[in-house]
Amino acid sequence: MTPEAAAATIVAAADPSWTRRFVDELDRTVRTDPLERFTELWDLSNSAAAGVFGVSRQAFSKWLKTGPPAGRSESVANLSAATDRLDRHIKRERIPAVVRRSAPALGDRSLLDLASAGETQKVAEAVEAMFDLRRVQP
């Protein structure tokens, strides 16, 4: 059976919400590289993702194949943590809008603005704070 035929069979047999959850879980299982997940879930082209890290599109493409240099591991880890948390708490199709929305708590900047300014630690902290239920409890 081809992947296309399998997909058609699943779509025809299952309800849409189950199919969406299945596809999301399959993507989590297959797409394990942090940079690949970051670009996919934030809906960034390789060129835009390269801009976040201040490198050329070609350099970023090389990172996807061989991994980022050691000096970038903290930034990649921060964005990976933020991406994973967003993926756990927000529907995937809404993540691109969330990361592009300016927020007063971020100085009227967006998560993508912070990441592009090299402030990846602030991105990770802001996403953590978004889902910290302790701040809403008395």
Burial (CB < 10 A; 0-12, 13-18, 19+), residue 62, is middle
How many domains does the structure of the chain reveal? Answer: 2
Residue 94: per-residue pLDDT: 96
User: What is the per-residue pLDDT across 102-137, written as a single tens digit (0 to 9) for each?
Assistant: 999 999 999 999 999 999 999 999 999 998 877 655
Report the predicted TM-score, pTM, of the whole model to 2 decimal places. Answer: 0.77
The amino acid that residue 109 corresponds to is: R
Residue 78: per-residue pLDDT: 97
Domain that holds residue 19: 1-30
User: What is the per-residue pLDDT across 14-66, written as a single tens digit (0 to 9) for each?
Assistant: 888 888 788 777 776 766 689 999 999 999 999 999 999 999 999 999 999 99
Residue 93: per-residue pLDDT: 92
Question: Is 46 in the same domain as 103?
Answer: yes
Question: Is 19 in the same domain as 47?
Answer: no
108-114 LR contacts (CB < 8 Å, sep 24+)? 111/82, 112/42, 112/52
